[in-house]
Structure 1
Amino acid sequence: MTEKLLQYLWNFKVFKHFDFKDIEGNSVEIHDFGKWNTDSGPDFLSARIKINDLIFAGNIELHVKSSDWIFHNHSSDPNYQNIILHIVFQNDMEIEEFNHNHIPTLELLNYIDQDILWKYKKLAGGSQFIPCETIFNPTRIPVNFHEQNMLKKLEQKSLELEKSLQQFKNNFEAVLFQSLAYSFGLKVNAFIFKQIAESVDFSIINKLRHNETQLEALLFGISGWLENPEDDRMKIWKREFDFIKVKFNISDLKFRPKFLRLRPPNFPTIRLSQLANLYHQHQSLFSKIIHIQRSEDIFEIFKKVKASEYWDNHFNFGKISTVHQPKTLSRDFVELLILNTVLPLKYTYQKYQNEETADEVLNFYRHLPAEKNAVVSDWKRLGLTCKNALESQSLIYHYKNSCEEKNCLNCSIGFKLLKESSNV
């Protein structure tokens, strides 16, 4: 038993029965269990109880053992002067001040189903994929579980985007560029690509986007790759970058993307060229995205994006590859861009303007295929189906924010499992 679990059981009223009696044998009627206080002070505020035909209003404190009141030094703390009931799992000692002030103690040991304690021990001590794996039942997923997780994730992402919007004076086009740069960098180069995007004012990107060579030169130059050109094309990029650097007063600071542990199609050279081509092809990209109603129309925006011709037979500067083919964006990569960048920004833009925004964005996720990764595979191994991106994104979010943290008492699945009988 832990104090957190005891608070949880009291808050959700998970007991075998409610015919409570204090340690003196007096009947204790709970008229109001109180409001769970997650800040400092008593555990439950504004409770109401009836004992010996008298009604008391005040606060409730819970402990695993009665002696914890002494060990926690509550006696001298003024925040605990309005206690009307002391709740413990086990009464291991008599508290003199409670006797003196006629404050009842309620021992819950015999009111809690032992099956719940067994299940919680399984949850808290589990070292498998998810804490509840040994008692998990895929049929016990709560209604709207995926929708609620997805909205939490979107709100979390939206708060991050709103900070960027404040920084860039509500310029959604600039924030989209930085967000896309982050996604194009994948895990290895995400932060470096974002730094590259943030190192120049978006107005410069807008001025150069009509000239793909100059836009590439800017991104390659900021990456520090043009200092020693190895072929004619690199010399052109260097010449353009030197001109741009003087014209727009570009900083000498260089960001060095990494190649380590990346497959050649994901090399930063290819991804930055593709990013330049995307912005060369599409003026006012954010405006186009925001008015799209179908996921397939978003794919159309990225369909023709490819690295410049130099990269048809290169993966790195000055090194001709035996593989000769255009470096286009794969559908899987575009799906990642849509899931992690386009839809969160679409949600952020529309949520203050349209009450139907949440449903509209969730429908986009429903019409995209489920992701394929180790987390989703493990959920499937436990018997959960995963039909679309809404469900895969939900499961990934839930795993990272609840399961990895062993936050089972704030998990809707854990709540159902704890309440149900042991023969699930």
Structure 2
Amino acid sequence: MTEKLLQYLWNFKIFKHFDFKDIEGNSVEIIDFGKWNTNSGPDFLAAKIKINHITFLGNIELHVKSSDWIFHNHSLDPNYLNIILHVVFQSDCDIDELRKRNIPTLELKDYIDEKILWKYEKLISGNQFIPCENIFDPKKLPFNFHEENIVKKLDEKSAELEENLRHYKNNFEAVFFHSLAYSFGLKVNAFIFKQIAESIDFSIILKIRQNQTQLEALFFGMSGWLEKPQDERMKIWKREFDFIKVKFNISDLKIHPKFLRLRPPNFPTIRLSQLANLYFQHQNLFSKVILAENTDAIYTIFNSVQASEYWDDHFNFGKVSTVDQPKVLTKDFIELIILNTILPLKYTYHKYQNEAITDELIHFYKSINPEKNSIVDDWKKLGIPFKNSLETQSLIYHFKNSCEEKNCLNCGIGFKILKDSSNVR
């Protein structure tokens, strides 16, 4: 038994019966179990109980053992002066302070089905892909499970974006640029690309975006790649970067992207060139994305993006490749950008003015193909078919935030598993 599980059982009223008696044998009627308090202070607030025909209003504190009241130093804390009931799994000692204040103690050990404790222990002690893998039934996912996960994910992403917006004085275009850079960097260079983007005042991007060569020169120069030019094209980029650096008083800071463990099409040279081309082609990129009503409109924006001509037969500087073809954005890559950058941005931008934005974005998710990765593959092995990215994004999010953390008490699936073990009022 853990205190968290005890709070969970109390909150959802998962007991064999409700004919409670305190350790003195007095009948305890729980009129209102109280509101679960996840902050500091008593565990349940604004509760209501009746003992010996007298009704009490106040807070309830839960512990695994009675003695935890002493170990947690509640006697010295004024937040616990309005306690009306001390609820414990096991009463291992009398608390003189509570007895003098006529605060009853309710022991729950005999009111909890042992199957629940057994199931919970089994859930958190296993090493399988998800804790409930051996009893998981894909047909019993809670109603609106995927939609709820997506909304949670969007809220978390939105909180990050709003923090960045506060830092950049509500400049959505700048924050969008930083987020795009992060996505273009993929896992290996995501934070490095974001550092590069944040090191450049976005007003500079606005001033030079009509010149693709200068945009590339800025990105390549900030990456420290132009110090020793190896061919004529590099000399042009270096000359442009030196000019931009002086004109806009850019610092000497160099942030070096990585090539290790990347396939050539994902080399940072290619991705930064493509990012430069995106801003060169679309002078009002932010507005176009915000106004896009469906994924086709977004595909139209990104489909024409490609690295500059130099990269047709190069993946790195000064090294001609046997592969000679335009380096365009694949559909899979565009979909990653939509999922990881554009949809959270649209949600953040619209959520205070457009009540229907959540439903609109759900349609976006449903129109994008399911992702392919190891987490999705493991869910498939449990019998879940995927039709779209709403489902894959939902279960990737759920795995990382619930299953991987063994946070079964805050999981809709885990709740159903524990609930099925007993009568719930």
TM-score after normalising by structure 2: 0.95
Separation in 1, partners of 2:73, 2:219: 61
Work out the CA distance in 2 between the residues paired with 1:279 and 1:41. Answer: 51
In 2, Cα distance between equivalents of 1:58 and 1:212: 67
Whether 2:408 is the aligned partner of 1:408: answer yes
The 3 A distance-change label for structure 1 pair 345 and 41 is closer
- Counterpart of 1:323, as a letter, is V
The CA distance in 1 between the partners of 2:36 and 2:348, in whole Å, is: 31
Residue pairs, 1:244-323, within 5 angstroms: 244-323=244-323
Partner of 2:418: 418
Letter in 1 for 2:259: F
Provide the residue aligned with 2:24 in structure 1.
24
Give the Å deviation of 1:99: 4.0
> How far apart are the structure 2 equivalents of 1:341 and 1:281?
19
Deviation, structure 1 residue 359: 0.9
Q: Do residues 149 (structure 1) and 149 (structure 2) align?
A: yes
- Distance, in Å, in 1 between the alignment partners of 2:136 and 2:109 is 26
Measured after TM superposition, the shift of residue 213 of structure 1 is 1.4
The offset of 1:97, in angstroms, is 4.0
Q: Does 1:138 align with 2:138?
A: yes
How far 1:340 sits from its partner (Å)? 0.5
> What do the CA deviations read for 1:343-401 (whole angstroms, capped 9, x no partner)?
11111111122111111111111110111111111122222232211111111111111
**CA distance, structure 1, for counterparts of residue 206 and residue 47 of structure 2:** 60
Query: What CA distance in whole angstroms lies between the structure 2 residues aligned with 1:247 and 1:80?
Result: 63
Question: d(CA) in 1 for partners of 2:249 and 2:65?
Answer: 68
SS at the partner of 2:93? coil
- Which amino acid in 2 is paired with 1:89? F
Structure-2 change in CA distance of 1:303 and 1:51 (3 Å)? same
Unaligned 5+ residue runs, structure 1? Answer: none
Counterpart CA distance in 1 for 2:421 and 2:12 is 16
8 A contact 1:157–1:344 mirrored in 2: yes
Q: Give the aligned partner of residue 170 of structure 2.
A: 170
Q: Does 1:214 align with 2:188?
A: no
Q: Which amino acid aligns with 2:46?
A: S
**Residues 225 and 104 (structure 1), Cα distance of their counterparts in 2 relative to 1, 3 Å cut:** same
Amino acid at match of 1:326: P
After TM superposition, the structure 1 = structure 2 runs for residues 1-20 of structure 1, keeping only pairs within 5 Å, are 1-20=1-20
Q: Percent identity?
A: 74
How far does residue 84 in structure 1 lie from its aligned partner after superposition?
Answer: 2.3
Partner residue in 2 for 1:117: 117
Cα separation, 1, equivalents of 2:73 and 2:226: 66
Instruction: Provide the C-alpha distance between the structure 2 equivalents of 1:91 and 1:212, rounded to a whole number of angstroms.
Output: 73
In 2, Cα distance between equivalents of 1:200 and 1:95: 62
Give secondary structure in 2 for the equivalent of 1:134: helix
Deviates more, 1:248-257 or 1:306-315: 248-257
Look up the equivalent residue of 1:128 and give its one-letter code. Q
Mapped to 2, the partners of 1:245 and 1:102 lie a distance apart of 75
**1:335 counterpart residue number:** 335
Distance 1:52 1:169, change over 3 A: closer
Please, which moves more after superposition, 365-374 or 87-96? 87-96
- 1:304 is displaced (CA, Å) by 1.3
TM-score, L = length of structure 1: 0.95
Q: Which residue identity lines up with residue 201 of structure 2 in the other structure?
A: D
Q: What corresponds to 2:45 in structure 1?
A: 45
Question: Aligned partners of 1:167, 1:41: CA distance in 2, in Å?
Answer: 32
Task: Kindly indicate whether the alpha-carbon contact (under 8 Å) linking 1:29 and 1:51 is maintained by their aligned counterparts in 2.
Answer: yes
- Matched AA of 1:366: K
Give CA-to-partner distance per residue, 1:28-81, whole Å, 9 cap, x none: 111111222223332222222112222222222222222323333333443333
Paired residues in the alignment total 422
Deviations 1:61-113 (A, max 9, x none): 22222232333333344333333222221223333444444332222112111
Partner SS, residue 74 of structure 2: coil
CA contact (8 A) 1:270 1:327 kept: yes
Amino acid at match of 2:283: Q
Deviation at 1:122, TM superposition (A): 1.3
> How many angstroms apart in 2 are the aligned matches of 1:332 and 1:264?
16
2:257–2:268: 8 Å Cα contact kept in structure 1? yes
Aligned residue in 1 for 2:84: 84
1:102 match: 102
Change (3 A) 1:83 1:263: same
- Residue in structure 2 matched with residue 195 of structure 1 by the alignment: 195
CA deviation map 1:2-52 (0-9, x unaligned)? 111111111110111111122233221111112222233322222221122
The letter of the residue matching 1:134 is: N
Counterparts of 1:208 and 1:98 in 2: how far apart (Å)? 72
1:378 aligns with 2:378: yes
State the Cα deviation string for residues 254-302 of structure 1 (Å, max 9, x = none): 1111111111110011101111111111110111111111201211111
Where does structure 2 lack aligned partners over 5 or more consecutive residues? none
- Structure 1 pair 287/79, CA: closer, same or farther in 2 (3 Å)? closer
Shift of 1:209: 1.8
Equivalent in the alignment of 2:225: 225
Instruction: Name the SS for the 1:332 alignment partner.
Output: helix
Equivalent pair of 2:113/2:421 in contact (CA under 8 Å):
no
Letter of the structure 2 residue corresponding to residue 222 of structure 1: M
CA contact (8 A) 1:173 1:284 kept: no
Per-residue CA deviation, residues 206-241 of structure 1 (Å, 9 max, x unaligned), is 222222112111111111111111111111111222
Say if 1:279 and 1:76 are closer, same or farther in 2 by CA, change over 3 A. Answer: closer
Residues in 1 aligned to 2:77 and 2:158: alpha-carbon distance in whole angstroms = 40
Counterpart-to-counterpart distance in 2, 1:70 and 1:396: 42
- Are positions 1:54 and 2:41 aligned together? no
After superposing the two structures, state which structure 1 stretch, 127-136 or 90-99, moved more.
Answer: 90-99
